[in-house]
Amino acid sequence: MPATIRDVAKVSGVHVSTVSRTFSAPHLVNPSTRARVLDCAEQLGYRPNRAARALITGRTHNIGLIVADIANPFFPPLIKAAETHARGRDYHLFIADTNEDANVEEELVLALAKQVDGVLLCSPRMSNTQIERLSRDVPLVVVNRPVPGLPAVVMDHAQGARLAIEHLVGLGHTHIALLGGPRGSWTNREIRRSATLTARTASVELTVLGPNPPNEEGGSGQAEAVIRTGATAVLAYNDLMAVGLIDGLDSAGVAVPTQISVVGIDDTALSRRTRPTLTTVATPTAAAGRAAVDMLLAHGDDRRTTALVTLQTELVIRNSSGPAPTNI
């Protein structure tokens, strides 16, 4: 027969209410008493009833995590880190995928609102107005995009784009193509803004191609357009597009990096497995997942917080970028 809260109270020598507080409001219990209760609960194999605890505390100890595309290798490290971090704080994650659809995104937030204590909204496609309105129904932390008036965890994509363009300029490239991502993406705007400014400062030509779907097809489908620009190097919105572009260039008989250098963004596992291995901008997705969980739990009761965490990016040089060809 499973151990009950009364069994734990009897063995640990405390009142049932103390056991209840140990699990529902541990900060209200003396540390030594709390440790004794937890030790007894572990020995007896006792697990608190989450549904009953939710009725008492008003907290479900569940968190929603909504991503734009779960098949994109950018998201799994973030999901895994957030799930592990949340579990360590006695929270469970509900994970949902929007398939890059803003309408589905809104539906999912509303569906989760009554089942979770808050939602982590990753790379959302909704407008700021929609997100702000939804935040009145459930605490939100936005990941990979700042939204005025809401807590957010962002990665410094502007810094990453600058490092990538400077790297290509340093290799002698004077005409670079930027393979843009989806329309309405904050990340895409940051990359474009920074790449444009960096290219202008370095007095090199930048040709922007896009918007494009942020997947391999979005990269391979632009191979011919890249060739027509005459650019000798490309910065892609993400690794998926960069890998797709390399495939498309290969099919067209264009060698990477001998004829055209390619740089991605994200440093996903895919970037280390493609041939040639991909030069890319590393984004700290796992750190973003952990930071978002911490921010949501710290600010879940204060929906007016505007806390912003910015995580740095860095360039990882591999084999897909090389010196500008001299015969062009």
What structural domains does the chain harbor? 5-57 (1.10.260.40), 62-155+285-312 (3.40.50.2300), 157-282 (3.40.50.2300)
Q: What is the pLDDT of residue 55?
A: 43
Contact 257, 229 (CB under 8 A): no
Q: What is the largest CA-CA distance in the chain?
A: 84
| Nearest one of 318, 314, 317 to 155, comparing CA atoms | 314
Measured CA to CA, the distance from residue 39 to residue 202 in angstroms comes to 63
| Nearest one of 320, 325, 303 to 134, comparing CA atoms | 303
- Which uninterrupted H or E stretch holds 10? helix 5-12
For tokens 């290969």, name the residue.
Answer: 250
Distance (Å) of CA 216 to CA 42, 245, 304: 48, 7, 39
3-state secondary structure of 94: strand
Sign of dihedral through CA atoms 238, 92, 142, 138?
positive
3-state secondary structure of 314: strand
The residues of the chain scoring below 70 in pLDDT are 1, 24-25, 48-59, 300-306, 327-328
Residue 42: how many other CB atoms lie within 10 Å = 11
Q: What is the pLDDT of residue 28?
A: 79
Residue 115: how many other CB atoms lie within 10 Å = 12
pLDDT in tens, 125-174: 999 999 999 998 899 999 999 999 899 999 999 999 999 999 999 999 99
Q: What is the pLDDT of residue 23?
A: 73
